[in-house]
Structure 1
Amino acid sequence: MTHPTPTSRLSGLHKNSIAERLARVVDFAGLDEDTAQHLADMGNLDPHLADHLIENVIATMNVPVGVATNMKVDGRDVLIPMATEESSVVAAVCNAARQCYGSGGFVTSTSGSLMIAQVQLVDTPDPAHARIRILERKAEIQALCDACDPLLVELGGGFRDLEVRIVDTAGGPMVITHLIVDTRDAMGANAVNTMAETIAPHLEGWTGGRVYLRILSNLADRRLARARATWTCEAIGGADVRDGIVSAYRFAAADPYRAATHNKGIMNGVSAVVLATGNDTRAVEAGAHAYAARQGWYSSLTTWEVTADGDLAGSIELPLAVGLIGGATRLHPTARACLKILGVDSAEALARVIAAVGLAQNFSALKALATTGIQKGHMSLHAQNIAMMAGAQGNEIAQVAAALVAQGTVRVDIAKQELARLRG
C-alpha cells in the first residue's frame, strides 16, 4: 500500500493555534515525540508574543547570550551582552578589551542618525530637467514628509535633506530621489518608507515619470559609527605581533577574498550585539558589506597602523542603523534586558558600543592569525562542542575536550573513543 505524498499546501495554517500548527508540521515531517515536545517548549518567550512577531509560529530558537567583560567605551566601563552560537566570539572581545583597557579602551563617535529612503522613477521623458524640478520642490517635500510622523518631528527628527540622482541602467536612465531623514532613536525603516510612499504620487505628477520602488536603503552611509583604540606592544606580546596584525590587515585591504573573511570576523561581534538588543542583523550586515565596497572594490572595514610611539592603533567605521524603540527591541523581554545591561540611553550610544565590539573582535582574530593561528584559539571551545556531540555529559565534557586538545585532533570519532575510555 502506497502512502500519499505529503503536501506543503497546509491551508489555513496561519489561523491555527501554535499547538495546532505544530501538530500539523509534526505530521507532515514525521517527527518523533521527543522532537515535538522540544519544539513545544517556548523557553522564556511568551508564546502569545512569539505568535505576533512573525507568521506561522511553531517554536522558538534559543541562542546563548554571553557577556563580554573588560570593555571601556568613552571612559565608561560596560558589560556587553552578545547573542551568538559561535564559540570564542565572546572570549575574543573580552581578551581584546583587556589588552587595551590600560591604554584607555575605546574612543567612539558617530555621524548622526540619518537614514535614506529611495523613490525610483522610470520612463521620465527628460531626466535632467525632472531632477531639477524635484529639487525645486524641497520645501514642499519636507512638509509632506514631516506630516507623516509628527511625533518624530517633536522628538527632534524628521526630514533633513533631498538628493536626486540619475542612474543609468540597462533599461535606460532612472531618476532616483533620496529622502534624508533623521530617525533619532528608531532604526527608522517604517518612518522613511511611509515618507517615500507619501511623496511618490507627487513625484509622478511633477515629472511625468512612473514610480516603482519606494523603500529605504540599507547602505546607511549617513549613519556611521566609528571606534578607535591603541594597544601597546607590551600588552600584546611585542613588535612581531604588532607587525603581524598590520600585515594581516594589509592583506585584507588589498584582497577581497581575505577581506570577506576579515569582515565576517568583525560581524561576529557586531551581529551578536545587534541580535541581543533585538535589532535587525540582516540590515546591519547588508549595510556593512556594501560600505566595505564603496570605493569600487571590497575591502576592510578596519584600519591598523603603527603609532609614533611604536604601538598598535586600530580603527573602524561602518554604517550602524540600530534603534532603541520599535519592533523586537521594545517587545522582546530578553532584548530589553540586554539594553539595560548595556546602560545605553540612545541609538547613537548603542551604535558606538557596537562599533567598539567590532574593532575588538577584529583585533583578536588578527592577533590569533598572526601568532598561533585561528584553529588553536578556537580549539578548546570547539572541543567542548565536539565532546557534547559525542554524548559527553556533566564533568565528562571538560575531560573529553581536554583529551582532544592534548592530542591536537578535535573530531567526533576521537571524542567517542575518549568518552568510551573515560567510562571504562
Structure 2
Amino acid sequence: MDEPLEKVPRDPADDFGSEAIARRRALAERAAGGALPHLAGAPVDPRTAAGNVENLIGYAQVPVGLAGPLRVVGAQGTYEVYVPLATTEGAMVASYSRGMAVARAAGGVRARVVKDGLSQHPMLVFEGFEAAVAARDVVAASFDELAAIASEDTRHGRLVSAVGEVVGRRLIVRLVFRTGDAIGINMAARATDRIARCLAERTGALECYVHGQDVEKRANQRALVEGRGRSVVAEVTLPAALVRERLRCEPSALAKIARSYAVGYTGLGTQNWTVQAANGLVALMIACGQDPAYVTESATGWLELEVTDAGELYAAVSLPSLLLGTVGGGSGKGTAAECLAILGASGAGKVERLAEVAGAMVLCGDLSLMASFVAGDFVSAHERLGRNRPGGSK
C-alpha cells in the first residue's frame, strides 16, 4: 500500500469558507493526480452531453463532499481513497466518514467482487406449455450459436449463460453477459433483441418480448437471489475496545439491533436488508456519472453484525446487484470523470475497484448509522449537521 492518506481537513470556525474548501480541493487534486476544474465550478462544454440527454438547457449542481479516507483490502491489494459523494442530505458524509475512520483503525474493509454478469430476460409466448418446454430445450442446445449472435456487434461483451424457464405457456430466457468495464445495458439489450428474434423464429413463438420479465431499475427478488451486474461482499472485524471508544456502544448491542431490524425487514418483504445503502450508493452514482436509477437494484442486499467468540464485532454486507461502470455513459465527462479520478477508478480495468469501494463504503455507512441508533445520537447529529431550515432558522 502507498503512504496512508491524510484526514480530510476541517475548519470548525468556517468550514464552508473559501480557504477550507480550497484545502480540501487541493487534497482531492493530489488524489486525482491533476486539476479538478469542473468540481471547482468551471463550465462543461455542452457538446459533451450529446448522447446523454435531449433538449439540453444546462447542468444540475449538487454539492459534492469527500468522505474518508477509506481503506480497502481488495483483490489487487490494500489501498486508500477519498470517496466523493454528491448529496443534499446533511450529516450523511460525516456519518460515512465516521464509519470509514473506525474501519480504517481496524485495518480496513476487506472487499471482493465475487460474481460478474449482467442478466436480461426476454420472453417467448406459445400456444401451450408443451411448445414452451420444447423451446426451452432449443435454448439449451443452441448456446454456441446464441453466443455467436451476441458477439457480432460488440468487442467487449460476451454471452456466458442462457437458460430457459417455463412459466405456463411462456418461456423466460435468462441471458447473462459479461460487459467489461461498462454497465453494458445497451450492448446487452441489442444482443438480447437479436437472440430473442432468432429463438422466436426457430421455435414458432406467437409473441416475442425483449423485456419479457423486466428487472431493469426495479427492486426484485431475482436481484437478491441471483445477482446482476457485480456482486460484492465486504467485511471488517472491529475490536471491542474500538467499538466502545469510536462508536460509543457495545458490540453485543449492535448485534442485537441487527437481529431486531431483520425481524422488521421480514414484515416489509423488502429485498434491501441494509440500513442506508441507498444513501451512499446514489450519492456515489451521481458524483461518478452513473445512472442513479439503478440504485433500486444496487441497494439490494444484507447487513450482518455478529459478536465473535473473542468478543469482537464482525460486520459484513453482501450487495449482489451493483450496476456500475467506469467506461461509457456519463463516466468520462465533466465532474464525473474528476470524481472517478479521485477514486483512482477512471476508464478500462477499474470497474472492480469502483465496486470494491462501493461495497466497503456501504458497510462503513451502515456501521455508523446503526451505532448512532444504539447510542441515541442519531437525532442530535442531524440537528447539528443536517438541518437547513427555510429562512435559516435553527
TM-score grouping bracket, smaller chain normalisation: 0.7 to 0.9
Asked if structure 2 preserves the Cα contact closer than 8 Å seen for 1:251 and 1:258, the reply is: no
Amino acid at match of 1:221: G
2:328 corresponds, among 323, 326, 330, to: 326
Match of 2:227 among 216, 221, 224: 221
**Cα distance in 2, alignment partners of residues 64 and 179 from structure 1:** 39
**Aligned positions of 1:167-206 closer than 5 A:** 167-168=167-168, 173-206=169-202
Q: Is the 8 A contact 1:134 1:206 kept in 2?
A: no
Q: Which of residues 124, 139, 155 in structure 1 aligns to 2:144?
A: 139
The equivalent residue for 1:255 is 264
Aligned position for 1:7: none
Higher helix share: 1
Partner in structure 1 of residue 18 of structure 2? none
Q: How many Å separate the matches in 1 of 2:342 and 2:49?
A: 23
- 1:160 match: 160
User: How high is the TM-score relative to the length of structure 2?
Assistant: 0.77
Please state how far the C-alpha of 1:147 moved relative to its aligned partner.
Answer: 1.3
Say whether the 8 Å CA contact 1:162–1:178 is kept in structure 2. yes
**Larger relative CO (CA 8 A, sep 6+): 1 or 2?**
2
| Alpha-carbon distance in structure 1 between the residues aligned to 2:238 and 2:296 | 27
The 1:329–1:237 alpha-carbon spacing in structure 2 relative to 1, beyond 3 Å, is: same
Report Cα offsets for 1:129-171 as digits up to 9, x if no partner.
211122111111111111131x21xxxx411111111124xxx
CA 1:115 to 1:246, structure 2 compared with 1: closer, same or farther past 3 Å? same
Q: CA, structure 1 residues 211+277, in 2 after alignment: closer, same or farther (shift >3 Å)?
A: farther
Q: Which runs of 5+ in 1 are unaligned?
A: 1-41, 293-300, 392-411, 416-424
> 1:120 maps to which residue?
123
Other structure's SS at 2:164 match: strand
* Counterpart amino acid of residue 275 in structure 1: I
Deviation at 1:50, TM superposition (A): 4.2
User: Aligned-pair distance for 1:360?
Assistant: 0.6
1:97 aligns with 2:97: no
TM-score, with length taken from structure 1? 0.72
Structure 2 gaps of 5+ residues are 1-40, 217-222
Matched, 1:288 2:292: no
Tell me the number of residue pairs that the alignment of Structure 1 and Structure 2 aligns. Answer: 329
Q: 1:264 to 1:245 in 2, by over 3 A?
A: closer
Q: CA deviation at 1:353?
A: 0.5
RMSD, aligned α-carbons: 2.3
Q: Percent identity?
A: 25
Matches of 2:60 and 2:250 in 1, distance apart?
Answer: 39
Task: Report 1:15-414 matches (<5 A).
Answer: 44-50=43-49, 53-74=52-73, 75-125=78-128, 126-149=131-154, 151-152=155-156, 157-168=157-168, 173-215=169-211, 217-218=215-216, 219=223, 221-222=227-228, 223-237=230-244, 240-256=249-265, 263=274, 265-289=276-300, 292=301, 301-318=302-319, 319-330=321-332, 332-344=333-345, 345-383=349-387, 385-386=388-389, 389-391=390-392, 412=393
- Distance in 2 (CA, whole Å) between partners of 1:213 and 1:249 is 41
